Amino acid sequence: MSDGAELREKIKEVMVEELMLDFEPDEIGDETPIFGAEGLGLDSVDALQLVVAIEKHFGLKVGDAEKAKQILQSVETIAKAIEAEG
């Protein structure tokens, strides 16, 4: 498994654990939308928790709402942001 795949798996595990989702990590696709009915259906409260979890586990600081909107689209966009910082 490549580092990229491991990172994406870890992000999914953090999401399930920190947000107490009713999903298993392997049920979440890399490109699945995080918000909205067609995706995981998370809301703004979940977004705040997710930002805190990403900072805690991966050291990625999401400074403002516009940056958060770009990063928190899917596991893939979160992973790319973490990789870009690393």
Residue-wise pLDDT tens digits, 24-77: 999 999 999 999 988 999 999 999 999 999 999 999 999 888 999 999 999 999
Residue 42: strand pairing partners: 35
User: Token pair for residue 61?
Assistant: 């600081």
Give mean pLDDT, residues 6-27: 96
Q: What is the dihedral of CA 53, 86, 80, 51, to 10 degrees?
A: 20
Amino acid at 67: K
Q: Dihedral sign, CA of 1, 5, 56, 39?
A: negative
What pTM was estimated for this model as a whole?
0.93
Structural domains present in the chain = 3-85 (1.10.1200.10)
pLDDT in the model for residue 33:
97
Amino acid at 7: L
Residues 15/50, Cβ–Cβ less than 8 Å:
yes
